[in-house]
Structures are given as structure tokens and as C-alpha cells.
Amino acid sequence: MAATTEPTVDAHEGATQASKKKKAKKVVADNSRYLGAETVMPILVKSSHAKGRYVVSSKDLSAGTLVTVEKASGAIVRNQSFVNICHHCFKPVASKTQTRTKVDEQGNEVAGQTERVTVPAHSCDKCKMAAYCSEGCQKAHALEHDVQCDALAKSNAIAAEHRVPLEHLRSLLALIGRRFADDKNMPGEGVHYKYSGQDARPTPYSHALDLNPNRHYLDRNAIKSMQQALKDLLALVPEAARISLPEAVEAACIFNTNHHSLVVNGQQVLGLFPFSSLYFQHSCNPNCMYVGETDATLFIRTMTDLAANTELTIPYVELYQPREQRRRDLLMTRHFWCKCRRCSTLLSNSVDRLMDGIQCTECKRGVMIFEETKEVQDINELITDMSALDQEIQGKFAECEACPAKIEVTKLVDVLKAAITDYSEAHIALQRGEVTRARQLMEQYLRNYEDKQVLNPYNTYLVNTYISLIQVCSQLGEVDRAIRYNAIVIERMEGAQGATPENYPRVAEYHMSMGDMCLKQAKLKAANQTPAGRSMARKYFKDAKPALEKAFKARTAIYGKDSPRAYEVKRLLDEYKKEHDEFVKTTEKKKISKKQVAAAAAAATAATAAANTPPPAAMPAQTPAQQQPATSAA
């Protein structure tokens, strides 16, 4: 994935440095070891000088089509989820409380002192660095784990000594375990694809080495520390499984700069998926989405209907963000400067102008636009000195898109800085649990920056304020208001055309919360037998339905129709139907009884008016409404 822009740069500019020459050789990639993917997935693997490796659809695909299933070459449970899920299958782990000898921050035991700790029901007794859901999983993991065990036992201490992230060491050990298991299990090569369940085989370690380590983007000192730490670590790996130090550094860098972060069973997992990383390029307007599932398996599905021969892309960053922010995020985490179509379109023609849009103070209709003209050539330089991006704006002017007004870009930056400061203040209050104050600050924020037309309505600071207000108002029990803010969030995210694709999971979650809250409120208001209550219930039922339907459509596309997430919405839709039918039945009764009263009144009037002609007075009794026996109870 990190190969996205580099091969283009190298191929066009010619490489002088040795490292660049080495990379240039990788430009036209050999696809042969990945051709197997074409036989089981509706995709074709491709590579070219200009684009590097990529995949296209082999036929027309509808939204929600599975296009890749890949089991990680190496995956680790993140530190914060360490004891919560199984280190083999990533299912939740039962825990128990235990008394043990106290351990200090360096991982050394303190003699004579004990502490109570919660530990997983099953774990490796030797290293205490692997939790399992069952003995079965511990056994299944033994081939990979045994060669890591001694090194894992000391990994905390090594990480602390050399000041390197523990996760970097653990991820390398996971790859070493994979390599060892590959040799034992799968002599010979080949990626093993599957569509479902248990028969998956992890992508071999050797394939992971096809990925770009992006070493020259990493800080020299960081690499030096990593080298020293890995040297200590490798000394604890049995010889049969050991790799050379240079290879270990390469593999650690590969994991570090190519992994996917997944949420599996609500917990954090990092996994390396060589095929997906190599062939599914990033786009800020992607047509596919990846999700992680139990067993460290990555599923990629189409988000939209696609014609045959369309390049398949996935997002590596949040898409409802300003262009600059997306590019910086990608630069820091993936080490490339995004030049996707959305990022390359002139700002004045792109939805991106709105994402951090500041309104023109003259006409209040347009946003101020500053087209960046500087092309980023040396990413390495940029990574070490982001201020290069800030220097570009000195002495430049932004122009209003709707009137002739101009303003210095630095002045616009001041407006934005003030907006960020106020935004942060409100969110710090929220983090501190000062919910009422947070709400006041946030609503004040909307008055200052939206009502006074300082920021464009689609500006992420405004939209994120509405998002926080949903949470704040829910916490304060003001559900009606939370629903109103939720509706605004959906309206903005979908209204900013081109900012998020159809079925985008983040938007789907706002449809989900909308549907869920509306349904709950509808039930509550329906129980309130007053006309006002019924009218509110009617409104909430009306809003719940399309929200739940959209959430269902998106979750089916992203997670699959048989996924728990799709079922969760399905259940709410069923509940909606049941409750709504019930509501219609009872309100019809009310309507009928109202009609009955009116009819009876009319009959009485008629009877009085035409006292001399008795027979017509009985006429209303013939209307179908009055034939409903149940109404008499009302």
C-alpha cells in the first residue's frame, strides 16, 4: 500500500541514491505468487510502472460483494486489549483473580511483596504474555508461540531498556512465529484464499517481505534503537526459528508501516495482510471497505456497484476530513503524500473546500479558497519538518469563491486557530466529565461559528461538535435533542457530496443511532395516550424507518448479510414493524372513536334540527366506523 505514490516518483524522476535504485527495481512487480487470488475472487491482479500493484474487478460487481478474504501473516492483540481476547482466535477470554509476587515497572519481581491481579483463565505459564480462550487455542498456537515464548517473556524489559514500543517487538515475534510455522506446515508457496470460516491459511511470511519497509522515512535514531532491541530479542529466539538482524529490522519496519488496525470483538488488533496491502491502494474516494473479523481475517467488500475492470480501492484514513488533514495523517502513518483523484482535484472544484471551509466575511455566501500549488517532492524532508507546509502560506491570499473578496491566508489561519481553541475547550470539559458545561460550550460554539457564518456548515469542527452533542444530550437524558443533532450530522455528512461514499460505515453508524433513538422515543411517546404524544410518536416512527433501512443496507454491504452487525439492525427493523403496527392499530381506534363522537354529535344536532323527521337521525349508525365494536370501550 505504501507503494502508492513512490514508484511513480522514482519512475519519473530517475533515482540516484542506492536506496532509491533498490526501490525502483520493485516498480514493475511480479504478480505470479498472487495469481491464485484471481481463481477464487472476482478480481484481477495488475501492476504497472505508473501505479505499482493494484487490483481491478473482473466483472460487474454489486455493492457488498466480497472481493478479498485474507488471514494475517502476523497479528497481535494491542497492549490495551492484551488480556481481553485470545491471542490465537481473538475471541473474548474469561478471566480470574490471582495473587502473585509483585512486579515492578521493569517487569522484575519484588521479593516479599504480593499483588492481586486479574489474569486470563488460560495463558502461557512460562512467559505470561499470551492469553487464550481455551486449551484448544493454546495448543493450536503452540507451534508459533513456542519459538516466541522466551523472547516474549523479556520483551517488556527489552522495550523499556531501548525505549522502543513493545508492540513493535511483539509484532516481529509474531512474524517469526509465522515463518517457523510456514516451514513446518506449508513447504512450498502459495496464498490460500477462502470465502468463509475455518479453512483459511495465513499468508506466508515470505510474502510479507514483498512489502515496502519504508525505512528511509523512519527516524534514524528510532531505527538504531530498534536494531539494538531486536538484537537482544533475537538472542532469545531458538536457532531453528531465528532470522538475521537486518531481516528482522526489515520485517519490523514492514509491520510498522503496513499493518491494518482492526477491531475484533470490540478489541484492538494489529494485523499484517501482505496481499491486501500490496494490491488494494488507498483512495480518498474509495469503492471498497475492509473489516477485520475473528481469526485475524480481513474481509474486503465493495461499497458501491462497480463496472468490470474498475480499480478497487480502500480508505486508510477517515474520509470526512479536510484534504490537508487526510494527507498529513497518511504521511505520518503510511509515509506517502496522497495524490488520489480527490486530492488532485482543484480545491475550488472539490468538496474538500468545505471540510475546513471558512466563510467569506463580505458576502457570507462563499468559502475562502487558497489553492496549494506546491508539489511535495521529498516526503522524507516533509516528515522531519512539517513546518514546510505552513511556510507555504506566508504572503499568500485566499479568494472568495462567490465574490471578489480576498484575505491573507495567515488571517484565515488565525480564524481557524481560534475555532480550534474553542473546540478544544468544549471537548476538554467533556473529557473531564463536565457534561453540562460541555454542552453549554458546544451550543455556544454553534452560535459563534455557525449562526454567525464564520465556518462553513460542512466544516469538520462544526460537524464534530454536533457529533459530540449527540453523546452529551443522550447522557443528559435529552433524547429529543440528541435525535435532532443526529439528524443534522447525517444531513451534513450526506450533503457534502463526494466526501463519503455510499454505504460508508461511519455514516451508517449515525443512521443506526438515529433509528435506534427514534424507535425508543416512538415507543415511549406512543405509551403516552395524549394527542401530542401520539403526534410525536408518529413523527419518530416515520424517522426511524428510513434510518434503520439505510443502516441495514450499509451494514449488509460492509459486514455481509449474515454478520452480527447486520442482524442487530434486522432485529430493530422487526421491532419497528411490530411496534408500528401496534401503534397504527391503537391510533386507528382513537381516530375511530373520535369519528364516532363527531358522528354522534352530528346525529344529535341533526336530530334536534329535524325533530319532526326521525328516520334520518339513525343514518350515521350505518357508517363502517361505527360498526367497529371495540370503539365502545374508548
Binding-site ranges for Zn ion (CB under 5 A): 86, 88-89, 124, 126-127, 133, 137, 149, 284, 338, 340, 343, 360, 362-363, 366, 400, 402-403, 405
Other beta carbons within 10 Å of 393: 16
E strand or H helix that includes residue 559: helix 531-559
Residue 53 or 88 having the CB closest to Zn ion? 88
The phi, psi pair for 481, rounded to 5°, reads -70, -40
Tell me the three cell numbers of residue 427: 471537548
Residue 88 or 534 having the CB closest to Zn ion? 88
At 1, the amino acid letter reads M
| Separation CA 379–CA 23 (nearest Å) | 15
Q: Which residues contact 125 (CB under 8 A, 6 or more apart)?
A: none
Helix (H, G, I), strand (E, B) or coil at 62: coil
Q: How far is the CB of 282 from Zn ion (least distance, A)?
A: 7
HSE at residue 409, side-chain half, CA atoms within 13 A, is 14
Residue 339 or 594 having the CB closest to Zn ion? 339
The phi, psi pair for 298, rounded to 5°, reads -100, 130
CB distance 148 to 169 below 8 Å? no
Residue 142 or 487 having the CB closest to Zn ion? 142
CB distance 46 to 56 below 8 Å? yes
Q: How far is the CB of 195 from Zn ion (least distance, A)?
A: 22
Q: How far is the CB of 400 from Zn ion (least distance, A)?
A: 3
Residue 127 or 487 having the CB closest to Zn ion? 127
Q: How far is the CB of 261 from Zn ion (least distance, A)?
A: 19
CB distance 453 to 359 below 8 Å? yes
β-partners of residue 92 are 85
Residue 393 or 402 having the CB closest to Zn ion? 402
DSSP string computed for 101-130: EEE-TTS-EEEEEEEEEEEESEE-TTTS--
Q: How far is the CB of 84 from Zn ion (least distance, A)?
A: 12
Q: How far is the CB of 292 from Zn ion (least distance, A)?
A: 15
Residue 144 or 182 having the CB closest to Zn ion? 144
Residue 257 or 313 having the CB closest to Zn ion? 313
| Separation CA 619–CA 600 (nearest Å) | 10
For the chain, what is the largest distance between any 2 Cα atoms, rounded to a whole number of angstroms?
114
Q: How far is the CB of 69 from Zn ion (least distance, A)?
A: 19
Q: How far is the CB of 459 from Zn ion (least distance, A)?
A: 16
Helix (H, G, I), strand (E, B) or coil at 444: helix
